[in-house]
Amino acid sequence: MTGIWGIVNVTPDSFSDGGRYLDVDRAVAHGLRLRAEGATVLDIGGESTRPGAERVGPDVEQERVLPVIEQLVAAGAPVSIDTFNAATATAAVRAGARIVNDVSGGLADPDMLAAVAETGADYAIGHWRGFSSDMYAQAEYRRVAREVAGELKERMGDAAAAGIAPSRLIVDPGIGFAKAGAQNWELLRGLDEIVALGPRVLIGTSRKRFLAETLRHAAPEEEASEPRRDLATAVTSALAARAGVWAVRVHDVAATRDALAIAHAWEG
């Protein structure tokens, strides 16, 4: 069964739910609710990666996420830390996180790969071509799936050189990161090239701009509301599961859980 990562944004400015769970108690309650709905991992982030987001320092990031991680781990939840920063990754693993989810694949912080190697945690390598403030300037591809696979393979090599065993790696093709609308669809259609790399594959389409754009084309008179984007996320997650991905990262766990259950029943 495909795993479901439930997103817990402990930020004031994430693109979808920024500020909703900035309070520690509310973030913990939200994480526990996602866990009860079927999340296999809770992905905790303290810095927004939305387009145009401003960076925050590791001290602020850790102040936001560490209390949440500690309480969720104490409640028995498997936790991932969503961070660019080596210092935050190390502190989060000490607090109980099992996975470091780095959307930059080690490119944002030169100390990240060595830090993760030392922690023993699993490491999710995202495909990345620059920080959110100007990432779309890098959205130039001839064959997006092949190029993304090639760049991820380079990051896998660097992770191995730093001492991270292949069995600890997860790869994420970075849907929405330095990729314009149609490029995301092309990348999803080419997921076999990402799966062929060998490590577990994580996909995150949840509520992203390219889904909203597609929904607006389908029904121009309707707003691409959060429920509609969650339905679109569930569909893309089910299709990604059929393509062989290991896990999907979503805001609405219940909708994706149901979509995956139906897809798996279809396959028999």
| 207 three-class SS | coil
Residue 4, pLDDT above cutoff 70: yes
- Cα dihedral sign, 214-229-185-181: positive
Which segment, 136-140, 221-225, 261-265, is predicted with the most confidence on average? 261-265
Q: Which residues pair with 9 in a beta bridge?
A: 45
Residue type, 30: H
Nearest CA-CA partner of 124 in 149, 153, 106, 101: 101
Residue 13, pLDDT above cutoff 70: no
Tens digit of pLDDT for each residue in 38-55? 999 999 999 876 665 567
- Specify the CATH number of the domain 3-267: 3.20.20.20
Mean pLDDT across the chain: 92
Q: How far is CA 256 from CA 26, 52, 169, 175, 241, in A?
A: 22, 28, 24, 17, 11
What token pair was written down for 9? 């944004």
Strands (E), the chain: 3-9, 41-45, 79-82, 99-102, 122-126, 169-172, 200-203, 247-250
- Cα dihedral sign, 120-122-128-134: negative
| pTM for this predicted structure | 0.93
Distance CA 85, CA 102 (A): 8
Q: How far is CA 178 from CA 12, 47, 61, in A?
A: 23, 18, 23
Question: Of 119-133, 155-169, 179-193, which range is least confident?
Answer: 119-133
Residues annotated as part of the active site = 208, 249
Nearest CA-CA partner of 122 in 176, 80, 60, 73: 80
Q: How far is CA 213 from CA 20, 136, 207, 225, 259, in A?
A: 24, 16, 11, 11, 21
